[in-house]
């Protein structure tokens, strides 16, 4: 199971504003800032997002590498996929593909994909068979 990830972004404030508009739609609404000086030498400042007291999605300042990362984020329904997609576009994201069934994977795989402000690929995914429905 994944514990956390660091996403390197060009402009922390801009990325925080983007993710503060998108992630809460998916139930990821906790925020925490970590001051790098509190860690070992050279540790970056981190801006974290999470849920239920667990921080797992972290941003750090630096040179973005959008081709190196694709992030699939769980949505609790097809409607949440649509809401997250709309929120990302409204926050300045660019569409890769609109919400819909991803038949090349499974007819029950419903997703939408956008690029964030640094070009990272974000996919909002609802897989009905993984939600006990």
Instruction: Tell me the whole-structure pTM to 2 decimals.
Output: 0.92
Domains of the chain: which residue ranges? 5-130
5-130: CATH number: 3.10.180.10
Residue-wise burial string across 103-124, b where 16 or more C-beta atoms lie within 10 A, e elsewhere: eeeeeebbbbbbbbbbebebbb
Q: Which of 34-38, 68-72, 123-127 bottoms out in mean pLDDT, i.e. has the lowest?
A: 34-38
- pLDDT (0 to 100) of residue 132: 63
Query: What is the SS3 assignment for 25?
Result: helix
pLDDT bin (cut points 50, 70, 90) of residue 131 is confident
């Amino acid at each position: 199971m994944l514990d956390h990830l660091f996403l390197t972004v060009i402009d922390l404030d801009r990325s925080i504003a983007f993710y503060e508009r998108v992630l809460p739609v998916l139930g990821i609404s906790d925020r925490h800032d970590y001051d790098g000086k509190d860690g070992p030498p050279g540790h970056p400042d981190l801006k974290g997002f999470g849920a239920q007291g667990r921080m797992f999605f972290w941003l750090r300042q630096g040179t973005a590498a959008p081709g190196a990362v694709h992030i699939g984020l769980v949505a609790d329904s097809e409607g949440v996929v649509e809401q997250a997609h709309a929120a990302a576009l409204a926050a300045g994201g660019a569409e890769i593909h609109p919400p819909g069934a991803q038949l090349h994977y499974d007819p029950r795989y419903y997703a939408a994909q956008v690029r964030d402000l640094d070009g990272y690929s974000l996919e909002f995914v609802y897989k009905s068979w993984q939600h006990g429905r």
